[in-house]
Structure 1
Amino acid sequence: MAGSTFGTIFRVTTWGESHGKGVGVIVDGCPAGLELDEQKIQQYLNRRKPGQTRYSTPRKEEDLVEIQSGVFEGKTTGTPISLVVYNKTQRSKDYSEIAGYYRPGHADYTFDQKYGFRDYRGGGRSSGRETIGRVAAGAIAEELLKSLGIQVQAYTKSIGDVTADMDKATPENIMKSPLYMPDPEASEKAELFLERKMQEQDSAGGVIECIVKGMPAGIGEPVFDKLDANLAKAVMSIGAVKGVEIGDGFAVAGAFGSDNNDSFCKGQDGKIAKTTNHAGGILGGMSDGSDIILRAAIKPTPSIARQQQTVNRDGEDIEISIKGRHDPIIVPRAVVVVEAMTAICVLDMILLGMTSRLDRIQEFWKK
């Protein structure tokens, strides 16, 4: 299957199906010497693990990661890192019924048209379990970025019509909220909103915001490999994402140059800075030294118990209600996935940018 690899220098290849023996990832391009163990990676995977709140699927998976290569005595060796998570609680019989029809909002029909065959057990490669590999790779990317003084933090910005008030937000609240929402009041309102949707046998979507702090200026390329273009591709490659915006995003369509432009000034540290950040930290496809601000629109979970209209493989009209163990909302478990793909993309672009200037290459080799 084409399209299972992302990145140029820091290259990530995910593999596996939701109801196969396991899922995993190969990470190539990680430099030697990074302190890494399974516990560090597990902390990230635990954030997307199912069955932790009533707002995620009741499917119980430990999702324990195993490092199979690329790490020796607690440090990366510079060789490919292989990570695996074994599937342990598959109930494939829950999906046997859907083999003969196409679920609304799923990739069933498009898989059939592309391959003439599909793994109907939980969606196969289109399953959300594929993101385990992304999160494991993202954990490595985030640890590398932290060593450079760069932090990546994602959280739930909104669910349905409930939006977090960022004046009430703190990093601590993100982990306290079952929805990973940084505003406690908004989190409570969103929980009540979801309770209503669950009673109605329906689902909801939302918006995830991701902030990258500590980015140096000049990372990215000015034409096809713009930093924002690659970030958009990275985040849009997550199955549930239907839109990505940087900075003010779609709001710029109604703005004017006089208020949308970010004025430059001298910062407190004496370096060039901006008075505002409507651009979201990226100008001309390259980082400008401000915080990178990215938002991803997450669609409602397509698997709902309510009656829906569809067709079977013979094109006959039928009514269905989806059985099995499904998330009433994808957003909370997708927060760490958006964070992971952002970290992977940013790290890859940083590594690519190391050869942009002769003076920096000379400085490196003269040491």
Structure 2
Amino acid sequence: MSTFGQHFRVTTYGESHCASVGCIVDGVPPGMTLRNEDVQVQLSRRRPGQSDLTTPRDEKDKVTIQSGVEQGITLGTPIAMLVQNQDQRPHDYKDETLDLYPRPSHADWTYLDKYGVKASSGGGRSSARETIGRVAAGAVAERYLAQAFGVEIVAFVSSVGAVHIPRFPGEQLASDSAAKAATGDAAAAPTSSVDNHIDTNGMTEEEAEEALSKEFRALLNEVTRAQVDKTDIRCPHPVAAERMRQRILLAKSRNDSIGGTVTCVIRRVPSGLGEPCFDKLEAKLGHAMLSIPATKAFEIGSGFRGTEVPGSRHNDAFYKRADGSLGTLTNWSGGVQGGISNGEDIYFRVGFKSPATISQNQTTATYDGKEGVLATRGRHDPCVVPRAVPIVEAMAALVIMDAVLAQDARSMAAARLPREPILALPNSMRMPSKVKAGGNPEGNPEARD
């Protein structure tokens, strides 16, 4: 459906070429300061036409708060936010071939098969234009989380095609000469045939088995949005950023597209968020991220790399923080254990496929199954990951906000009960009186560095 969340509920509306897009947000706490410009910051980072790496569609994406806020203060009632579609070109889709062919890897066929009708232009609800409502709602959630807990959410592009920020011990970018030789063009970037390589020479077995390199862990601990936004690719690794940029331009020059990944870190997350079994916090995050258009993969913490590391190296041992609470010496769990946040930073990675719409003739089949050639027009991103960064941040904020409200309700209900029955339980069933629960405001030290 078009609604996300249980306690902080967001409903988005709009298609790629309709009059407007937006959302209604229910569950916003009353008394928070909120103005159009607080939301506009993230929408401006998401908007098209930012550089030669994105679609040339020129939308300003100016948001207007319609309800739920008075004199800059939230009322606790539903907040409606609207963005007008200004640079509409539905005529780009008025082509008889598009009436005959479902676009390969697009949602044309599945939408028509499901509903029996679909939008006549663009991707309709499957278009990335729908994410405007998510980003607007996420900006509201993030504002509350920052003010109430000091939560900080930073996402960045971690790969484009085969060009990756080095993540593993010994991993290095391909050399400049290898990158140039792969394309036969000194100005071009590496193609998929040139990947990063691993060199563990000189490392101990334990160092080589670390789930993530010290350098990448340092990046997760320290990266800021200002650093991410220094380049149009939104990658905080300067060398990798330039290679990624050239890789996208290479795809664009060939009327093709390329995919990539976005890594996100959420800092100062309260402990105790998430539910057992089906509503684990990482399951909610996975649900949120895989609901973003063009996503095909999600991993949290050490992810698939963690399957290659022995338990003796992968287990997150506990230690006592300065504030008396428990922390973990490492954070391969990605801040979530048993489906519940443990107070460490949460980090995860999202994979985006190469955009389905490309300006090449493609041999495919018509709706009635006849083979033919589809020629696609329109304005499209050769790679979506630079613009996906604020969308990932928004969905992360919505998940954490929903979990916070759920836990607050549970804590408030429990606080009304007498404590004596709990205190009478054996130590194995309750929190020891000298141990605190809570977040880690100073970040996570790495004992094995």
Partners of 1:218 and 1:314 in 2: CA distance: 53
* Kept after mapping to 2: 8 A contact 1:210/1:338: yes
Aligned equivalent of 1:154: 155
Aligned equivalent of 2:78: 80
Q: Give the alignment partner of residue 395 of structure 2, picking from 316, 326, 341.
A: 341
Q: Which amino acid aligns with 1:151?
A: E
* Kept after mapping to 1: 8 A contact 2:101/2:374: no
**Superposition pairs of residues 320-335 of structure 1, within 5 angstroms:** 320-335=374-389
Partners of 2:318 and 2:24 in 1: CA distance: 42
Aligned equivalent of 2:135: 135
Q: CA deviation at 1:225?
A: 1.0
Aligned equivalent of 1:52: 50
Aligned equivalent of 1:27: 25
Q: How many correspondences in the alignment?
A: 361
Partners of 1:47 and 1:361 in 2: CA distance: 41
Aligned equivalent of 2:341: 287
- 1:46-100 Cα offsets, whole Å, 9 max, x none, are 0110001001100101111111100000011100000010111111010122222
Partners of 1:99 and 1:250 in 2: CA distance: 42
**Is structure 2 residue 286 aligned with structure 1 residue 232?**
yes
**Is structure 2 residue 318 aligned with structure 1 residue 264?**
yes
Larger radius of gyration: 2
- 1:122-166 Cα offsets, whole Å, 9 max, x none, are 111111100000000000001011012111111111111112254
Aligned equivalent of 1:120: 120
Q: CA deviation at 1:306?
A: 2.1
Q: CA deviation at 1:276?
A: 0.6
Partners of 2:79 and 2:59 in 1: CA distance: 23
* Kept after mapping to 1: 8 A contact 2:57/2:379: yes
Partners of 1:179 and 1:212 in 2: CA distance: 21
Aligned equivalent of 2:327: 273
**Is structure 2 residue 355 aligned with structure 1 residue 301?**
yes
Q: CA deviation at 1:184?
A: 1.5
Which deviates the most, 158-167 or 30-39? Answer: 158-167
TM-score by length of 1: 0.95
Partner of 2:81, secondary structure, is strand
Q: Which amino acid aligns with 1:56?
A: T
Partners of 2:372 and 2:404 in 1: CA distance: 51
* Kept after mapping to 1: 8 A contact 2:334/2:345: yes
Q: Which amino acid aligns with 1:337?
A: I
Q: Which amino acid aligns with 2:345?
A: D
Q: Which amino acid aligns with 1:217?
A: S
Partners of 1:355 and 1:303 in 2: CA distance: 45
Partners of 1:18 and 1:271 in 2: CA distance: 48
- 1:157-196 Cα offsets, whole Å, 9 max, x none, are 1111112254678423201110111111111111111121
Q: CA deviation at 1:354?
A: 1.4
Q: Which amino acid aligns with 2:152?
A: Q
Partners of 1:120 and 1:295 in 2: CA distance: 34
Partner of 1:158, secondary structure, is strand
Which deviates the most, 159-168 or 43-52? Answer: 159-168
**C-alpha distance 175-315 of structure 1, shift in aligned 2 (>3 A):** same
Which deviates the most, 282-291 or 97-106? Answer: 97-106
**Superposition pairs of residues 10-25 of structure 1, within 5 angstroms:** 10-25=8-23
* Kept after mapping to 1: 8 A contact 2:36/2:65: yes
Partner of 1:23, secondary structure, is strand
* Kept after mapping to 2: 8 A contact 1:170/1:183: no
Q: CA deviation at 1:360?
A: 5.7
Which deviates the most, 74-83 or 186-195? Answer: 186-195
Q: CA deviation at 1:255?
A: 2.4
**C-alpha distance 358-54 of structure 1, shift in aligned 2 (>3 A):** closer
Partner of 1:356, secondary structure, is helix
**C-alpha distance 289-117 of structure 1, shift in aligned 2 (>3 A):** same
**C-alpha distance 182-333 of structure 1, shift in aligned 2 (>3 A):** same
**Alignment RMSD:** 1.5
